[in-house]
Amino acid sequence: MRKKERAALVAELMEKTYPDVGCSLTYSDPLEMLIATQLSAQCTDARVNIVTKDLFARYRSVEDYANADINELMDIIRSTGFYRNKAKNIINCCKKLIEVFDGEVPDTMEELTSLPGTGRKTANLVLGDIFHKPAVVVDTHCIRLTNRIGLVSTKDPYKIEMELKKIVAPERQLKLCHQFVHHGRVCCSARKPNCEECPIHEACKQVGVK
């Protein structure tokens, strides 16, 4: 099976199995999505959602973050890990949003990745979920599943993103990445994948491998 054919079958089976899966972060506007995604680095979405409940109540605008007391901000986000760097990046990110982008979250990869604390994963989430543009979000689940299934043969996030853009239809890219996250959590775990009950087994190169 060619990679493009395998990708199409994977997307079809994922849609049948997880039709309602989307981003698991809680947000209500582009700025909240940007902040939540920055906090999600090396942290679970569930933990981020707990933290942002208080965070978003305390800081309501880009100006609030830009003018935040860094020690107070660190205290609020401490449980997400790497909180010193995250607090510093959030403040500097929002300062740049004000200085360069009139306080608005930009809608291009180049502009988003120019913001402190914003890599391609964060940028793609914002581009896809906020601005509804084709986007490939490469996280640990995506890396693991795309290699296991046989869609890619690299662990490099950038190379995976570029490869998936070639073989997955633009309108399916973002949702498929969200479905990878859900599938990785409920079935294809890192330690013990449940191949016997996997709903996409027929599209996986692991079929028949013991």
Determine whether 20 is an active site residue.
no
Alpha-carbon gap, residue 29 to 59, rounded angstroms? 13
On whether residue 208 sits in a domain, the answer given is no
On whether residue 210 sits in a domain, the answer given is no
Residues 12 and 55 placed together within one structural domain of the fold: no
Question: pTM (2 decimals)?
Answer: 0.91
- Catalytic pick among 121, 133, 159, 192: 121
- Catalytic pick among 139, 156, 175, 210: 139
Q: What is the DSSP letter of 202?
A: G
Residues 70 and 150 placed together within one structural domain of the fold: no
Q: Which residues span the domain enclosing 163?
A: 3-22+135-203
CATH (domain of 74):
1.10.340.30
Q: What is the pLDDT of residues 87-136, one digit of tens each?
A: 999 999 999 999 999 999 999 999 999 999 999 999 999 999 999 999 99
Residues 124 and 141 placed together within one structural domain of the fold: no
Note the helical H segments in the chain: 3-17, 30-39, 45-58, 62-66, 70-77, 83-101, 109-112, 120-125, 140-149, 157-167, 170-186
In the chain, the N- to C-terminal Cα span, in Å, equals 20
Residues 14 and 34 placed together within one structural domain of the fold: no
Q: What is the pLDDT of residues 10-56, one digit of tens each?
A: 999 999 999 999 999 999 999 999 999 999 999 999 999 999 999 99
Determine whether 121 is an active site residue.
yes
Residues 144 and 126 placed together within one structural domain of the fold: no
